[in-house]
């Protein structure tokens, strides 16, 4: 079928149904907004024109049915199309795959079974094939260089910059390139899309949309697909359409929250007044439901109810601007990550006293979810009231079996026993069975809790946990306890302070300076036997992407733990693992942070999250979006938000060209571990400051390419490595693989409050790398009170450029004023499993420089190393230990390395991610699940919080944690 300027009233949605091999895809109709189609071609006429199907099998080939373009055109099909074998295209090869040819998906897949050709589920009936892998299976079959072009397409009716090319694509490559070019009115072709191994090595079945940016007054256009390369693998296309369906653009990308077990709230912001939300179950062919929405101050929000459990839903948004619809890509969310508690109906006959206590308790609680402990029961009404008004799980305890039985029956009849309220025996009031510091709030249904003051205080969580009493107490336990009394109407609150020695983990490597060490004491523990399980549970193995793709690290501040998964994030109560809030965010994903930087940081009040071109400031307690900060005006339309760090009232951000962040996670190459020349660095071209308090920008800086992994903020100074001579090609993103990046580096220090340059120094310089040979495997920057450490991890090559299977980390130490104090190096212990990109750890006096230990003041190696280390995860430190995968026993699980003795201990079957998901923070080891997906062992696949173990039979400690 071919049509020129054919307005249609429905938009044809091409959806992959299911994910299994060999499943047929079908076209399905969804009532999406009206659009005009200027051209379409699905090659299916080759199957319907008489005499074309079954296709002829050439006598000397493999018998696969196929047809070439000239033959097709003799059958009066594909009129006006052209297929060109470009100069150099192999003159032999397997004839049916020489250039672009046409076949059924089944026939093409049958050419070489087991190589995943059958996964082009979107291809139907007849498809266009450029398969250099099969072409290469006979002599003369290399290289492959062929172009398939449309006829001239009449676009005289289109307004400028209104057209989009949409087609279904199956792509696999090792080192080949695919391009789409467009020529308007016979002018020189313009490249619109480039596929290569770096950007996308594998996309077996996807619908691709390419904005065509048609110029004003253009009358005709021709589109060409060119594939160049040798042998591995292919490009297949089908269902081509040129329409005026412009993609929706959001000022704040969509996000999904779960307010209740059966509902989801979808929110976004856009410059439109009206929108239509289409949604439906993922297993359905069409999006059956739609919701028309009006903007409120540029924001859209829709709450979907009656949703199924453990169900994937798809949704799509049409923004209506000036009567013109702009349609988003297809998004999805999964209700198995809806961990909202079941709602409870509030009792109608609550006494005023209970009502007052209930309201006051929820007002003073540090969080909106977690564990409330009611010590001493009357009839359970307080527990019911609290459950009805909050998302807390409530533990209701008493010693009297008669009271317990009655309360259980009452709550069982009300349907809230167990899943919302646990009714349990108090046991020994001097020493209950509950773990230390788990309760966000403790109160009583009686006059006072029937346990000792010491025990109450032991159970109270640090850093905000509240004990609600009728009046303040002055017992010795309270006198010794670290906390403060607060008034709460007629009641009194004892608020517990943060643990001594407990630190936050606010940035990727702990501090804004990337030290991988915050000073966390972790109760002076130096062996795994010193840690006990504080909580265990969700999120589990299904939450994340996979262990491999070097994801942003979890963060923790003020008793909250934040963790990213597969296009989703969750905030947990650090002391008890309760889910505080969560979002499904399709645009969230950023990977390969070892060669880029993390997309987030936190403080006590906010989560700062870079999503596309904005920085979301989320309320850390509730998840509500407070601000969506913009990039500087110059980069606003062309860049994404790259780096983010915060300190005091300051936010420092950076701009990278759009789509520079790594998002690919499938296949071994998405481990981002390969040693050698293919390493790329994501670079920013502008750095800027914001005030947190006003959400106003205060300065901007941009003189060259700033290497994102080297950005480090400490004490009002921001340090980084920069290249001021290398210019990126206009059409490229900010991933830089050009060796010249490393040959003209400048180390820069800015005043983070003004953006003014405090100092700059040339270097550091690579040892082996030249314009033509060598490679830098990784680069890092670490800022501390001592100044700045610039680290290059470089492979060793000989004069002809051959890699010598070794390399070294090299560090240059700059004082705060820019003077170089020392340089040092540490040889790689391996060139795989992340060992060659290990991030250094900097403590008060040591540089843990994999695998060696150096004196921080002199840079001198101390003649000691740490390990044995398995690699994969990177390394972090506490006062007394380093944490990493310990090589050996139990398939190398997570463990501790004692800084004093060098002894190692293991958490058997606990696997960290391949970068960093174990953080020492809040006086605990916090390990939100990150290792799942590895089929290399019986890993626990759970999130877990570990606390320093109290010695057996020891008396209840004071909550001062001394």
Partner 1 sequence: MTHPTPKPPGRISLQNHRRLNSLWSLWIGALLLPTTLPAEDWPTYRHDSRRSGATEEALAFPLKPAWQHRGGTPRQAWSGPAKWDAFSANTGLQSLRNFDPCYFVTVAGGLVYYGSSHDNAIHALDIATGRESWVYFAEAPVRLPPTIHDGRAFAGSDDGFLYALEAKEGKLLWKDQGAPEDRRIPSNASMISLWPVRTAPLVVNNALFYTASLTPWESSWLISLDPATGERRFAQEIADVTFQGALLATVNTLVAPQGRSAPLLYDIATGRSTGSIGHGGGVFCLVTENNELISGPKSQKAKDNQLFLTNAEGARIATFNDTTRAVIAEGVAYHHTRGVLKALALDATNKEVSQWNVKAPAPNELIVCANAVLLGHSSEVHAYSRKDGSLLWKTVIPGEGLVHGLAISNRILFVSDSLGGIHAFRP
Examine residue 308 and tell whether it contacts partner 1 (CB under 8 A).
Answer: yes
Is residue 529 within 8 Å of 949, Cβ to Cβ?
A: yes
The token duo for 73 is 């055109």
410 belongs to the binding site for partner 1 (CB under 8 A): no
435 in contact with partner 1 (CB under 8 A): yes
Q: Is 535 in the site for partner 1 (CB under 8 A)?
A: yes
Nearer to partner 1, 666 or 759 (CB): 666
The distance of closest approach from Cβ of residue 661 to partner 1 in the complex, given in angstroms and rounded to an integer, is 17
Task: Pick the closest to residue 270 from 286, 252, 258 (CA basis).
Answer: 252
- CA-based angle 325:328:329, to the nearest 5? 145
* Closest among 37, 42, 12, 38 to 27, alpha carbons compared: 12
**Listed ranges 33-41, 482-490, 660-668, 712-720: which one lies at the site for partner 1 (CB under 8 A):** 660-668
Stretch that binds partner 1, among 106-114, 138-146, 431-439, 465-473 (CB under 8 A): 431-439
Confirm if 61 and 67 have CB atoms less than 8 A apart. Answer: no
Of the candidates 513, 544, 704, 959, which one interacts with partner 1 according to CB under 8 A?
Answer: 544
Cis peptide before 216 (omega within 30 of 0): no
Stretch that binds partner 1, among 1-9, 266-274, 408-416, 555-563 (CB under 8 A): 408-416
Which CB sits closer to partner 1, 79 or 433? Answer: 433
Nearer to partner 1, 691 or 909 (CB): 909
Which of residues 205 and 646 has its CB atom nearest to partner 1 in the complex? 205
Helix (H) or strand (E) holding 455: helix 453-459
Interacting span for partner 1 (CB under 8 A) from 76-84, 234-242, 748-756, 905-913:
905-913
Question: Minimum distance between the CB of residue 371 and partner 1, rounded to whole angstroms?
Answer: 6
Question: Which residue from 26, 288, 294, 336 is in contact with partner 1, where contact means CB under 8 A?
Answer: 336
Query: Which DSSP letter does residue 670 get?
Result: G
3-state secondary structure 821-884: EEEEEEECCCCCCCHHHCCCEECCCEEEECCEEEECCCCCEEEEECCCECCCCCCEECCCEEEE
Cβ atoms of 509 and 600 within 8 Å: the answer is no
Smaller CB separation from partner 1, 828 or 939? 939
Nearer to partner 1, 120 or 643 (CB): 120
Tell me if 581 sits within 8 A of 327, measured CB to CB. Answer: no
> How does DSSP assign 710-754, residue by residue?
G-EEETTEEEEEEESS----TT--SEE--GGGGTSEEEEEEETTT
Classify 196 as helix, strand or coil.
coil
Query: Pick from 809, 776, 682: which is nearest to 736 by CA?
Result: 682
**CB 281 → partner 1: shortest distance, Å?**
10
Tell which one of 79, 351, 425, 694 touches partner 1 (CB under 8 A).
425
Considering only the stretches 608-616, 797-805, 842-850, 903-911, report the one whose residues sit in contact with partner 1 under the rule CB under 8 A.
903-911
536 sits near partner 1 (criterion: CB under 8 A) = yes
Say whether residue 820 binds partner 1 (CB under 8 A): no
- Is 418 an interacting residue with respect to partner 1 (CB under 8 A)? yes
Element holding 109 (H helix, E strand): helix 105-110
Smallest distance, Å, CB 750 to partner 1? 38
288 binds partner 1 (CB under 8 A): no
> Toward partner 1, which CB reaches closer, 407 or 790?
407
- The Cα diameter of the chain in Å comes to 99
Question: Could you say which DSSP state residue 369 is in?
Answer: S
- Alpha-carbon gap, residue 938 to 891, rounded angstroms: 9
Distance CA 5, CA 394 (A): 63
Interface size with partner 1, residues (CB under 8 A):
68
Contact 857, 823 (CB under 8 A): no
Residues 4-23 that bind partner 1 (CB under 8 A): 19
Task: Give the interface segment with partner 1, choosing from 193-201, 490-498, 547-555, 688-696 (CB under 8 A).
Answer: 547-555
User: In the sheet where 776-784 sits, what is the strand order?
Assistant: 776-784, 787-797, 803-815, 820-827
Out of 564, 941, 948, 959, the only residue in the binding site for partner 1 (CB under 8 A) is: 941
Residue 554 in contact with partner 1, rule: CB under 8 A = no
Buried/exposed code over 336-375 (b: 16+ C-beta within 10 A; e: otherwise) = ebbbbbeebeebeebeeebbebbebbbebbbbbbbbbbbb
| Contact stretch for partner 1 (CB under 8 A) within 50-58, 294-302, 441-449, 540-548 | 540-548
- Minimum CB–partner distance for residue 435 and partner 1 (Å): 5
Q: Within positions 378 to 407, which residues make up the interface with partner 1, using CB under 8 A?
A: 393, 395
Choose one: 166-174, 541-549, 597-605, 788-796; the region binding partner 1 (CB under 8 A). Answer: 541-549
CA dist 543 → 264, 885, 928 (Å): 17, 22, 10
- The length of the chain in residues reads 962
Rule CB under 8 A: say whether 939 interacts with partner 1. yes
Determine if 934 is a binding residue for partner 1 (CB under 8 A): yes
From the number of C-beta atoms within 10 Å of its C-beta (0-12, 13-18, 19+), residue 114 rates as: exposed
User: Per CB under 8 A, which region of 217-225, 442-450, 592-600, 659-667 contacts partner 1?
Assistant: 659-667
Question: For residues 211 and 890, which CB has a smaller minimum distance to partner 1 in the complex?
Answer: 890
Contact string 569-608 vs partner 1 (x = CB under 8 A): -------xxx------------------------------
Using CB under 8 A, pick the residue from 331, 371, 509, 517 that binds partner 1: 371
Rg (CA), the chain: 31
Check binding of 907 to partner 1 (CB under 8 A).
Answer: yes
- Per-residue binder mask for partner 1 (CB under 8 A), 490-529, x = binder: --------------------------------------x-
419 binds partner 1 (CB under 8 A): yes
Which residues make up the interface to partner 1 (CB under 8 A)?
Answer: 19, 308-309, 336, 341, 371, 393, 395, 408, 412, 415, 417-420, 422-425, 427, 433-435, 438, 528, 532-549, 566, 576-578, 665-668, 670-671, 890, 907-910, 932-935, 938-942, 952
């Amino acid at each position: 079928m071919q049509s020129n300027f054919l307005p249609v009233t429905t938009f044809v949605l091409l959806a992959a149904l299911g994910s299994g091999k060999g499943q047929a895809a079908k076209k399905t109709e969804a009532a999406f907004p009206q659009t005009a189609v200027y051209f379409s071609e699905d090659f299916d006429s080759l199957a319907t024109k008489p005499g074309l199907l079954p296709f002829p099998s050439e006598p000397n080939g493999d018998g696969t049915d196929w047809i070439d373009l000239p033959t097709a055109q003799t059958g009066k099909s594909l009129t006006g199309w052209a297929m060109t074998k470009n100069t150099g295209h192999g003159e032999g090869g397997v004839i049916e795959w020489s250039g672009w040819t046409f076949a059924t998906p089944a026939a093409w897949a049958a050419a070489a079974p087991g190589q995943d050709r059958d996964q082009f589920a979107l291809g139907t009936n007849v498809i266009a094939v450029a398969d250099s892998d099969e072409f290469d299976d006979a002599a003369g079959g290399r290289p492959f260089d062929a172009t398939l072009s449309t006829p001239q397409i009449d676009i005289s009716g289109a307004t400028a910059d209104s057209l989009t090319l949409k087609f279904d694509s199956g792509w696999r490559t090792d080192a080949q390139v695919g391009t789409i070019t467009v020529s308007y009115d016979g002018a020189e072709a313009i490249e619109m899309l480039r596929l290569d191994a770096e950007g996308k090595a594998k996309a077996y079945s996807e619908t691709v949309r390419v904005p065509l940016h048609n110029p004003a007054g253009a009358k005709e256009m021709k589109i060409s697909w060119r594939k160049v390369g040798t042998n591995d693998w292919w490009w297949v296309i089908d269902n081509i359409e040129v329409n005026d369906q412009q993609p929706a653009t959001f000022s704040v990308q969509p996000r999904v929250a779960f307010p209740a077990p059966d509902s989801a709230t979808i929110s976004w912001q856009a410059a439109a007044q009206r929108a239509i939300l289409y949604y439906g179950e993922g297993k359905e062919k069409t999006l059956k439901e739609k919701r028309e929405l009006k903007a409120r101050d540029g924001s859209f929000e829709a709450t979907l109810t009656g949703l199924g459990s453990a169900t994937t839903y798809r949704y799509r948004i049409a923004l209506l601007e000036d009567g013109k619809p702009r349609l988003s890509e297809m998004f999805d969310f999964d209700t198995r990550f809806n961990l909202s508690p079941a709602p409870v109906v509030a009792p109608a006959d609550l006494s005023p006293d209970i009502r007052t206590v209930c309201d006051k308790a929820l007002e003073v609680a540090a969080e909106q979810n977690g564990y409330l402990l009611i010590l001493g029961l009357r009839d359970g009404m307080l527990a019911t009231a609290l459950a009805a008004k909050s998302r807390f799980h409530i533990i209701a305890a008493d010693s009297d079996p008669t009271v317990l039985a009655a309360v259980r029956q009452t709550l069982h009849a009300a349907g809230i026993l167990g899943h919302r309220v646990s009714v349990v025996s108090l046991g020994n009031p001097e020493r209950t069975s509950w773990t230390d510091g788990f309760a966000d709030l403790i109160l009583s249904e009686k006059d006072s809790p029937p346990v000792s003051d010491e025990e109450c205080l032991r159970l109270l969580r640090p850093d905000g946990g509240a004990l609600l009493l009728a009046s303040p107490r002055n017992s010795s336990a309270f006198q010794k306890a670290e906390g403060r009394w607060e008034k709460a109407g007629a009641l009194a609150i004892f608020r517990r302070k943060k643990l001594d020695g407990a630190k936050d983990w606010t940035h990727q490597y702990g501090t804004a300076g990337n030290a991988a060490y915050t000073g966390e004491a972790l109760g002076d523990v130096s062996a795994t036997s010193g840690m006990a399980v504080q909580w265990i549970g969700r999120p589990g193995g299904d939450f994340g992407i996979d262990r491999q793709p070097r994801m942003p690290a979890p963060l923790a501040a003020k008793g909250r733990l934040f963790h990213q998964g597969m296009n989703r994030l969750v905030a947990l109560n650090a002391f008890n693992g309760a889910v505080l809030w969560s979002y499904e965010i399709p645009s969230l994903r950023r990977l390969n942070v070892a060669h880029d930087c993390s997309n987030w940081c936190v403080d006590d009040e906010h989560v700062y999250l870079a999503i596309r071109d904005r920085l979301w400031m989320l309320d850390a307690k509730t998840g509500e979006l407070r601000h969506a900060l913009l990039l500087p005006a110059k980069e606003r339309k062309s860049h994404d938000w790259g780096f983010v760090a915060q300190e005091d009232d300051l936010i420092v951000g950076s701009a990278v060209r759009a789509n520079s962040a790594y998002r690919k996670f499938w296949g071994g190459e998405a481990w981002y571990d390969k040693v050698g020349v293919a390493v790329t660095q994501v670079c920013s071209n502008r750095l800027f400051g914001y005030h947190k308090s006003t959400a106003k920008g205060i300065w901007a800086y941009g003189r060259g390419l700033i290497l994102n992994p080297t950005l480090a903020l400490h004490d009002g100074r921001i340090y980084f490595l920069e290249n001021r001579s290398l210019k990126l090609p206009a059409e490229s993103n900010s991933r830089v693989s050009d060796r010249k990046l490393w040959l003209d580096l400048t180390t820069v220090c800015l005043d983070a409050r003004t953006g003014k340059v405090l100092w700059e120094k040339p270097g550091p310089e690579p040892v082996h790398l030249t314009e033509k040979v060598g490679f830098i495997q990784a680069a890092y920057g670490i800022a501390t009170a001592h100044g700045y450490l610039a680290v290059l991890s470089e492979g060793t090559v000989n004069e002809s450029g051959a890699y010598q299977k070794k390399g070294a980390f090299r560090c240059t130490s700059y004082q705060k004023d820019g003077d170089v104090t020392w340089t040092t190096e540490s040889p790689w212990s391996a060139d795989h499993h992340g060992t060659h990109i290990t991030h250094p750890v900097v403590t008060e006096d040591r540089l843990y420089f994999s695998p060696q230990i150096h004196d921080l003041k002199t840079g001198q190696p101390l003649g000691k190393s740490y390990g044995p280390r398995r690699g994969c995860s990177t390394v972090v430190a506490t006062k007394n230990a380093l944490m990493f995968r310990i090589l050996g026993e139990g398939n190398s699980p997570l463990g501790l390395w004692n800084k004093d003795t060098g002894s190692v201990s293991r958490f058997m079957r606990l696997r960290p991610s391949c970068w960093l998901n174990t953080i020492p923070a809040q006086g605990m080891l916090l390990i939100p699940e990150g290792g799942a997906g590895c089929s290399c062992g019986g890993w626990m696949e759970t999130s877990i919080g570990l606390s320093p173990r109290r010695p057996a039979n020891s008396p209840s400690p004071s909550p001062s944690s001394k």
